[in-house]
């Protein structure tokens, strides 16, 4: 099997006693075990401290990897931000060739624009660019004086229709004439690549990357010239140099947004309180105002006491379920009966006040939703979209519906007062949500409401993405003591303690929020499964995770 030598070079300043290790997906890089990764050694190259290491790999080789700063005992002190780097050994390398990777440390400022909120929303044009394939760099035979140089640059902020070229002090890259520069190919994940073959005698080569707009306007990147050189004194110099150059150097990006509670986003269509479809109007306003982000206060169901106390958005009844308060009942069906339409019209007039009447608005929406459920339950609950929703969310949806039924039956959310139902079990849950249960329609009603809430929020989130506005969710620090989560997962919470805040200017005596604290030791046993599920749900509902 043909083998090649991979040489990694990383300019990076560390403190005394620290070193750098590469960990990656391949066994040669420790299979992500940092202690078994590839250790690098420091050398001085001019004014730079460069960490260097080499490893023998097959000629056909791909892997993911990242750099880690460690102490003398290989304990990780810090690591690169963002997604893992990807390495592909160029096609056509020969047995015994040397492939040199000239890398960069990816810090948080560069990784920021690779996050989903920027990548999939504000700068989605870049991620949707057409991928292009470049012919193998070695379709032509190389003589001993040839070196293949591959230019690799990340351009997450590229405008729609734009391309990238590299130009510099060599005819192969345009002799500093942007229009004659080497055109890079988009390969996905905001990465652009191209190669050229240079003679050893032509080094060093200075260069810069350049954006080319759809109209053909060239914009050279900021900062000093980049430079690539080769060590001709080496007994076996590199035949392939991969210039992993980080991100295109641009002026700092600036953006602004607005933070607002969902209940305050009022419109002519709402029933006394902001509703998920109203987000579309807020997105339009944000676009016209030059804003790129809308942050919402928590939108989870808080119906613990079934009164105005529940208007506090941080005391979650469920960290997964959405609040029925934000439901638009007019969107429940295309065939709303005339009497229900009249009821909605009357409610709009009665609830159209400056301040939200929490109890009246919620009661009205649930009453109308119940009427529509009675009319259309079989049609909706047998539809393919609902069945998919139930399949994807049943792990939290069924316990939530059962909890709401028991809360109303016992007239309290304090599940310690529910008799034999105080202790949750899968067997009890299955009986509570069974299709032959007398109260099954009550269970299904909660499914129905949540289905429409998620549908309406999903449509609003898609509208925001289409208009390049980030919809940012807020993750409350705790859950209510009398919640679905403390009922289903009692071991994950320390119910004899409470979360709060120390004294400050806002509250001189401090605050006691009453939320139980987390049992982190217990949560770690399943690798924080509850937290992972919770974060996944927030991501589904928005473009970004937390506030």
> What kind and span of H or E run contains 400?
helix 384-410
Q: Which of 445, 280, 452, 264 is nearest to 358 (CA)?
A: 264
Q: What secondary structure, in 3-state letters, does 432-489 show? A: HCCCCCCCHHHHHHHHHHHHHHHHHHHHHHHHHHHCCCEEECCCCCCCCCCCHHHHHC
| pLDDT score for 392 | 95
What's residue 541's pLDDT?
80
Q: 40: closest CA among 21, 25, 56?
A: 21
Q: Are 457 and 276 a contacting pair, CB within 8 Å? A: yes
pLDDT 10s digits, 344-362: 999 999 999 999 999 999 9
Number of alpha carbons in the 13 Å side-chain half-sphere of residue 314: 11
The candidate with the shortest Cα–Cα distance to 499, out of 518, 482, 520, 483, is: 518
Residue 547: its pLDDT value, please?
Answer: 38
Residues 6+ apart with CB under 8 A from 464: 121, 279, 280, 283, 294, 470, 471, 543
Give start-end residues of each CATH 3.20.20.80 domain in the chain. Answer: 257-541
CB atoms within 10 A of CB 505: 5
Q: Specify the pLDDT at position 521.
A: 97
Report CA 42 to chain centroid distance, whole Å. Answer: 35
Q: Residue 204 class from Cβ within 10 Å (0-12 exposed, 13-18 middle, 19+ buried)?
A: exposed
> DSSP string spanning 97-120?
-EEEEE-----HHHHGGGSHHIII
**CATH 2.60.40.10 is right for the domain spanning 3-247:** yes
How much is the CA Rg of the chain, to the nearest whole Å? 29
Torsion sign, CA atoms 378, 380, 383, 388 = negative
173, 210 Cβ separation under 8 angstroms: no
Q: What are phi and psi of 211, to 5 degrees?
A: -80, 145
- Quick check: helix, strand or coil at residue 76? strand
The CATH number of domain 257-541 is 3.30.70.260: no
What's the pLDDT score for residue 176?
A: 97
Taking the C-alpha atoms of residue 38 and residue 59, their distance in angstroms, rounded to an integer, is 18
Residues of the chain with CATH 2.60.40.10: 3-247
Please check whether residue 461 is in contact with residue 116, taking contact to mean a CB–CB distance below 8 angstroms: no
CB-hemisphere CA count at 13 Å for 66?
17
- Cα separation, 377 vs 150, in Å, equals 60
Coil/strand/helix, residue 274: coil
Say what the pTM is. 0.86
What is the structure's pLDDT at 359? 97
Query: Exposed, middle or buried: residue 500 (CB in 10 Å: 0-12, 13-18, 19+)?
Result: middle
- From the list 197, 189, 46, 77, the residue with the least C-alpha distance to 131 is 189
Q: What is the pLDDT of residues 170-184, one digit of tens each?
A: 999 999 999 999 999
pLDDT at 127: 54
The parts of the chain modelled with pLDDT lower than 50 are: 136-137, 545-547
The answer to whether the CB of 476 falls within 8 A of the CB of 314 is yes
Q: What span, in angstroms and rounded, lies between the C-alpha atoms of 542 and 529?
A: 20
Q: Report pLDDT digits (tens) over 127-143.
A: 555 666 555 445 567 78
């Amino acid at each position: 099997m043909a083998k090649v030598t991979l040489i990694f070079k990383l300019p990076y300043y560390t403190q005394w006693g620290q070193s750098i290790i590469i960990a990656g997906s391949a066994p040669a890089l420790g299979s992500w075990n940092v202690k078994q990764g590839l250790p690098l050694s420091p050398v001085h190259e001019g004014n730079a401290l460069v960490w260097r290491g080499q490893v023998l790999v097959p000629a056909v080789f791909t892997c993911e990897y990242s750099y880690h700063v460690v102490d003398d005992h290989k304990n990780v002190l810090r690591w690169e931000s963002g997604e893992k780097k990807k390495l592909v050994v160029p096609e056509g390398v020969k047995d015994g060739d040397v492939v040199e990777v000239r890398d960069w440390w990816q810090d948080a400022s560069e990784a920021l624009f690779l996050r989903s909120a920027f990548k999939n929303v504000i700068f989605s044009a870049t991620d949707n660019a057409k991928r292009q394939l470049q012919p193998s760099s070695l379709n032509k035979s190389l003589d001993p004086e040839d070196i293949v140089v591959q230019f690799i640059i990340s351009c997450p902020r590229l405008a729609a229709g734009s391309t990238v070229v590299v130009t510099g002090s060599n005819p192969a890259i345009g002799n500093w004439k942007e229009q004659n520069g080497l055109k890079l190919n988009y390969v996905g994940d905001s990465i652009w690549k191209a190669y050229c073959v240079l003679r050893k005698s032509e080094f060093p080569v200075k260069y810069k990357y350049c954006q080319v707009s759809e109209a053909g306007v060239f914009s050279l990147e900021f900062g000093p010239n980049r430079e690539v050189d080769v060590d001709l004194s080496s007994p076996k110099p590199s035949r392939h140099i991969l210039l992993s150059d980080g991100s295109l150097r641009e002026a700092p990006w600036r953006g602004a947004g607005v933070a607002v509670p969902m209940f305050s986003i009022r419109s002519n269509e709402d029933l006394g309180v902001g509703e998920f479809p109203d987000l579309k109007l807020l997105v339009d306003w944000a676009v016209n105002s030059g804003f790129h982000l809308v942050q919402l206060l928590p939108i989870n169901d808080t119906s613990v006491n079934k009164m105005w106390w529940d208007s506090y958005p941080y005391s979650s009844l469920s960290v997964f379920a959405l609040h029925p308060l934000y439901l638009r009942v007019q969107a429940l069906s295309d065939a709303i009966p005339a009497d229900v339409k009249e009821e909605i019209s009357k409610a709009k007039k009665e609830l159209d006040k400056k301040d939200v009447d929490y109890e009246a608005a919620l009661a009205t929406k649930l009453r109308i939703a119940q009427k529509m459920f009675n009319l259309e339950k079989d049609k909706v609950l047998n539809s393919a979209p609902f069945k998919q929703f139930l399949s994807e969310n049943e792990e939290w949806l069924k316990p939530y519906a059962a909890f709401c039924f028991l809360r109303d039956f016992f007239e309290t959310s304090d599940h310690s007062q529910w008799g034999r139902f105080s202790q949750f079990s899968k067997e009890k849950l299955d009986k509570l949500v069974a299709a032959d249960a007398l109260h099954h329609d009550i269970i299904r009603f909660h499914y129905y409401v949540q289905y429409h809430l998620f549908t309406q929020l999903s449509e609003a989130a898609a509208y925001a993405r289409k208009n390049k506005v980030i919809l940012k969710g807020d993750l409350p620090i705790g859950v209510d003591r009398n919640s679905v989560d403390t009922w289903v997962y009692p071991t994950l919470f320390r119910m004899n303690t409470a979360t709060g805040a120390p004294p400050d200017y806002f509250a001189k005596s401090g605050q006691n929020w009453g939320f139980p604290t987390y049992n982190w030791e217990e949560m770690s046993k399943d690798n924080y499964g509850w937290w992972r599920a919770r974060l996944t749900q927030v991501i589904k509902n928005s473009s970004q995770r937390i506030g």
